[in-house]
Structure 1
Amino acid sequence: MPKGYWIANVTVTDPQRYADYQALASEALAHFGARFLARGGERTALEGRETPERSVVMEFSSYQQALDCYHSPAYQRAKSARQDAADVDIVITEGL
């Protein structure tokens, strides 16, 4: 079964509120077995739009597990806490 991946581009607009999101999201992500492959750090935009403040890549045991995590009540609570604290793009994709 192919793994699932979250690919997120994040620009934090309110660091205090974003910290609240991180605390809530950490619990949900751990529950679904997320493994961070990239989280912040140096990055270079070579094509397309400007580089976001942070890029995050997380691996899940399956595509369905990645979707289930995003749609879980625990992650949705975290997402609500993130509102107006960051500009976020998230794509969930199936691995090879």
Structure 2
Amino acid sequence: MAKGFWIAHGRVDDIVKYDLYRAANAAPLAEFGGRFLVRGGARETVEGEAKPRTVVIEFPSYEAARACYDSPGYQEALKLRQGISESDLVIAEGWDG
């Protein structure tokens, strides 16, 4: 079964309030097996445009990635992020090759 991924490019406008979002999203991410592969850090946009922060979260399956996003726990956490950051988020199915 192919893994699932959240791939986000974002901008944080209020780091103090964003920390509340990060604390709140920990439980739903753990519940659905989410694991950070990229969480900020150094990066370089070599083609096109992207917001200044990149996050990649791996899930055991595409279905788990979707279920996590749709879960009541994550939707409550998401409310904390709205208005203090901007993000482009893609949920993608991995390739088993």
TM-score tier, shorter chain, comes to: over 0.9
Whole-angstrom CA distance in 1 between matches of 2:52 and 2:12:
7
Partner of 1:31: 31
5+ residue gaps, structure 1, are none
Amino acid at match of 2:22: Q
**What are the within-5 Å matches in structure 2 for residues 61-76 of structure 1?**
61-76=60-75
CA contact (8 A) 1:3 1:61 kept: yes
Corresponding residue pairs, total: 95
**SS of residue matched to 1:48:** coil
Whole-angstrom CA distance in 2 between matches of 1:37 and 1:83:
23
Once the two structures are superposed, residues 2-41 of structure 1 have per-residue CA deviations (whole angstroms, 9 ceiling, x without a partner) of 1100001111011121111111011111111101111111
Amino acid at match of 1:23: A
Partner of 2:18: 18
5+ residue gaps, structure 2, are none
Q: TM-score, normalised by structure 1?
A: 0.94
Q: TM-score, normalised by structure 2?
A: 0.93
Partner of 2:92: 93
Amino acid at match of 1:15: I
Whole-angstrom CA distance in 2 between matches of 1:26 and 1:81:
13
